[in-house]
Amino acid sequence: MRKLSMDELGRKTPEIYRASEKFPVVLVLDNIRSMMNTGSVFRTADAFLLEGICLCGFTATPPHREIHKTALGATESVAWTYFEKTTDAILQLKGAGFTVVAIEQTTDSINLLNFQPDPLKKYAFVFGNEVKGVDDAVLALCDLCIEIPQFGTKHSLNISVTAGMVVWDVFSKTAKP
């Protein structure tokens, strides 16, 4: 066994990436403090050919050295938009036909294991602040909530880990081989 070389991996150039058909998912970052988390989400979005990212509130935007540390160039391929208010991003996405899903622990959350995404729908997944979670005003506009089951002493996961888990789960349940 040997690792594949970069040439053998056949990665897309940023230009080919931008022209490629995208997986109909947008990630919404609601007031994310850590620029490294933001950069990691860019890499996840790139890896799965997602439609884009909405950076909202005080979430930092590229170009920034701290974002680039973890994005490793994904800010050049993934489309992103900035919104001062996360609620404006949600309303725009809903107007464009997206089903908006908060990743949050609520009284009505669906366990990620039980979430069955419709492969014919477009989804926007909202990830909240590292301490406060998804803002209540944003939560009120969401169509549903998903939570990741957890069994230890902590009640949350890092946002970049959560984004990777959710995107992989939805991709694996809906992507065409």
Token pair belonging to 30: 């609601």
pLDDT digits (tens, 9 = 90+) for 125-135: 999 999 999 99
DSSP class of 100: E
The model carries a pTM of 0.94
Residue 177 pLDDT greater than 70, yes or no: no
pLDDT at 72: 87
CA 171 to chain centre: 12
pLDDT at 11: 85
Which residue matches tokens 């991709």? 171
pLDDT digits (tens, 9 = 90+) for 21-38: 999 999 999 999 999 999
**Which residues 6+ apart lie within 8 Å of 97 measured at CB?**
122
pLDDT at 64: 86
> Which residues on neighbouring strands pair with residue 55, listed in sequence order?
29, 82
> Which residues on neighbouring strands pair with residue 102, listed in sequence order?
126, 145
Stated as kind and residue range, the H or E segment containing 70 is: helix 65-71
Phi-psi label, residue 97: left if phi above 0, alpha if psi -120 to 50, beta otherwise: left
pLDDT at 157: 93
- Between CA 107 and CA 125 the distance in angstroms is 18
Kindly state the percentage of the chain with pLDDT values over 70: 99
Sorted by where each begins, the domain ranges of the chain are 25-174
Q: How many CB atoms are located within 10 Å of the residue 48 CB?
A: 17
pLDDT digits (tens, 9 = 90+) for 70-92: 898 889 899 999 999 999 999 99
pLDDT at 48: 95
**CATH pick for 25-174 out of 3.90.245.10, 3.40.1280.10, 2.70.98.70, 3.30.70.2170:** 3.40.1280.10
Which residue matches tokens 């970049």? 160
Q: What angle do CA 150, 132, 93 make, to 5 degrees?
A: 90
Residue 118 pLDDT greater than 60, yes or no: yes
The pLDDT of 140-153, averaged and rounded, is 96
pLDDT at 117: 97
